[in-house]
Amino acid sequence: MAASNANASHPLTLSGGGSLRGTVRVPGDKSISHRALLFGAIAEGETRIEGLLPAEDPLSTAACLRAMGVEVSPIRAGEMVTVRGVGLDGFQEPGDVLDCGNSGTTMRLMLGLLAGRVGRHFVLTGDGSLRGRPMRRVGGPLAEMGAVIHGRKNGNFAPLAVLGQELHGATIRTPVASAQVKSAILLAALTASGPTTVIEPVQSRDHSERMLRAFGADLSVGGSGNTEVTVRPGPALKGQTVIVPGDISSAAFWLVAGAITPGAELIVENVGLNPSRTGILEVLEQMGARITVLNARDVAGEPVGDLQVSHGPLQPFAIGAEIVPRLVDEIPVLAVAACCANGVSRLSGAEELRVKETDRLAVMARQLTAMGARVEEFEDGMAIEGPVPLQGAAIDSETDHRVAMSLAVASLVATGTTTLARSEAAAVSYPGFWDDLARLRG
């Protein structure tokens, strides 16, 4: 059997060898799922969400919204989710702390939504990982708009207290390209007293811009490379039907698994192909991977397609700061691909990985090294030498969902048996991952 014991108390046993074949439909895009719930909550009327990701992170967003009086129907795989919007200023003050779980997107976007709720008090917290992630990158820009947010270590860490204020418009340059920071500012801007412009160093994912426009916000995008976004407050948002495509960040595990496993032939269906997310496809193409986009189409304002991948020889990659925002969550699994490439792959400009759910540069270097990989870690990246025969080992997700699934992909090409501790972390973004893996190994 490919996978067994997928529970919290026992490491998961994964056997190497064999090949992957068949068709898989990855669950809904996590970024779009959070936004559909949040924007539906501040709209007027009902929002219907098809294909919402039924995983721990969006459940955290839904729970926070319910605690502020928003009706969100139960979130179950394959079922339409409805949100009854309360309008731009309709959140009730919650009687308890809002628990964002493991979800940085929940906490950061919520800060933007709550900062302008005059006279109301909110406290946001999360799990151990989230309480260790920097929040001043959001609190700082929001303070420029008049927000009052308190937290540990000078406002940088949760628990965070938000005391709702009248906000004013501002022009804000963000030092890091982060869709979470940009989106928090855009959401706060919806009820500010004047227009707000966010200027990023490089464009980050633009799901908020697309969806806010579809909900009726007055938003324009400009600057070189779409790096400047302006919101003019005023219009009420109107509930919409949102169709969530499959998550390219989840598809990435199958794309790399298909590219590195001898004999593999896979089709990943219904994958979101928003250009601000497709850096992974460009890098895999640079490596010579055999990937074809089938049935390219547009679904509710987002490009979508099916991806066919088969095994073949891989060349090393070179990834720098310019492309990192477009593949930031795919770097752990690209590190696995690098172990199978013919030469040294190089990653730089990726210091943001150190403040994700874990320090992903350190964790991937540590765990892949335990499997026999040759990895050199730098402050902002890594160099990985391939091809290296990976060996089965006792490894650990260190609680990070994307690390868990990346290491599972590595185990497919390792000799012998791998045991993976804390494999249940995958449920944060892809609850059916272990079942899909078992089925594709068939």
Give the residue numbers marked as catalytic: 329
For helices 136-144 and 104-114, the axis angle rounded to 10 degrees is: 20
How close are the terminal C-alpha atoms of the chain, in Å? 9
Pairing of strands 265-272, 302-310: antiparallel
Smallest gap from residue 32 Cβ to ligand S3P (A): 8
| Residue among 321, 312, 311, 309 at smallest CA distance from 346 | 321
Region from 165-173, 175-183, 187-195, 372-380 binding ligand S3P, contact rule CB under 6 A:
175-183
Of 31, 250, 397, 411, the residue at the interface with ligand S3P (CB under 6 A) is: 31
Region from 80-88, 173-181, 274-282, 358-366 binding ligand S3P, contact rule CB under 6 A:
173-181
Q: Can residue 70 be called a binding residue for ligand S3P (CB under 6 A)?
A: no
Smallest gap from residue 9 Cβ to ligand S3P (A): 27
CA distance 351 to 324: 10
C-alpha dihedral, 210 to 215 to 220 to 223, nearest 10°: -20
Q: Can residue 274 be called a binding residue for ligand S3P (CB under 6 A)?
A: no
CB 49 within 8 A of CB 124: no
Smallest gap from residue 179 Cβ to ligand S3P (A): 3
Q: Which is nearer to ligand S3P, 306 or 400 (CB)?
A: 400
Region from 88-96, 177-185, 218-226, 390-398 binding ligand S3P, contact rule CB under 6 A:
177-185
Q: Can residue 64 be called a binding residue for ligand S3P (CB under 6 A)?
A: no
Distance of CA 363 to the CA centre of its chain: 18
Q: What's the longest Cα–Cα distance across the chain?
A: 62
- For 63-72, give one letter per residue: b (16+ CB within 10 A) or e: bbbebbebeb
CA distance 197 to 377: 37
Size of the site for ligand S3P (CB under 6 A): 12
Site for ligand S3P in 179-198 (CB under 6 A): 179-180, 183
Region from 172-180, 186-194, 229-237, 412-420 binding ligand S3P, contact rule CB under 6 A:
172-180
- Encoded tokens for 178: 């982060």
Q: Can residue 270 be called a binding residue for ligand S3P (CB under 6 A)?
A: no
Q: Can residue 229 be called a binding residue for ligand S3P (CB under 6 A)?
A: no
Site for ligand S3P in 318-337 (CB under 6 A): 328-329
Residues at the contact surface with ligand S3P, assessed by CB under 6 A:
31, 34, 105, 178-180, 183, 204-205, 328-329, 352
